Structure 1
C-alpha cells in the first residue's frame, strides 16, 4: 500500500478489525519510509459495476465506473446537520452497493441508484429525503419543494 504522505511503496499493518457493519476491514498502517500512520478500508467487491447515465447536454448515454465514495458523499450531503449516525449512513450505502452487485447486470442505470437512495432516505430521515429529492428530481422553484414536502407529510400521516 502506497503511503499517502511520502508515496513510499511499503507499509506495515499495525492493526486490523472489522467495521461495525461487518462490510469492511479497517487497517491501521505505518509507512516504512517516513513512519506516518494511516488507515485503509478493504471491502468485498462482487462484480465491477458500470453506471449508465442518460441525457446531459448532448442527450447521449455515458458510462462510468460505479464510485462508492461518490454515492456516500451525496448521501452525506443530504444528511448534513441531521441527527443521523454515521454508521446508519454507512449501512445504507453498503446495502445499496450489495443490492446492485447481486443483481444480474453489471450495468446499472443512474436512475435506479437514485431511486434506491430515495427509498433508503425515506425511512431514515424525511428532511434528508426531501434534500436528496430536490437534486435528484431537479426542483426548479419553491413550489416544487412545497408539493413534494406535502406528499411526504401526507404519506407520513397515514
Structure 2
C-alpha cells in the first residue's frame, strides 16, 4: 500500500465517524472514535484527528478544534469529553458528571480534562496552514476564557 492509499483509507475511517450537531445555534462537526460506543467527542482523540486531517481537509481539522473549544468552561477548562445530545450508549454520561451548571449553553462536558495534547495539535496545525483567518480564530477560541 502506498502513502496515498494509506491516507485515503485513514480519511475514509474518519469520514465514517464524522458527527454533526447543532448546539447554541451553531453547527459543529466532530469525529467520534466510534459510532457504536464512544459516541462523543474526546479531547485527545480530536487533537490527533485534527493533526492528521490538516493534510486532507484543513477545514475539518479546524472544525475538530472549534467543536472541542466550544465547550470550554468559564474557568478555561477544555474537558475530556464533549457529549453529543441524545446519545446514551456511553457511561459515565452527562448525568453522572453533573456538570450542567458549568455548560456553555447546550454544550455539556465531563468534569475533567486530559493531558495537554490539544496544545501540541494547535501548534502543529498553526504551522501547517497558511490560512491567517483560521489561525486568528484558533487563537481566539482556545484562549477565549483563559485568564
Say which structure, 1 or 2, has more relative contact order (CA 8 Å, 6+ apart): 2
Q: Which has the higher Rg, Structure 1 or Structure 2? A: 1
Which has more strand, going by share of residues?
1
TM-score range, shorter chain: under 0.3
Relative to the length of structure 1, the TM-score reads: 0.25
Relative to the length of structure 2, the TM-score reads: 0.26
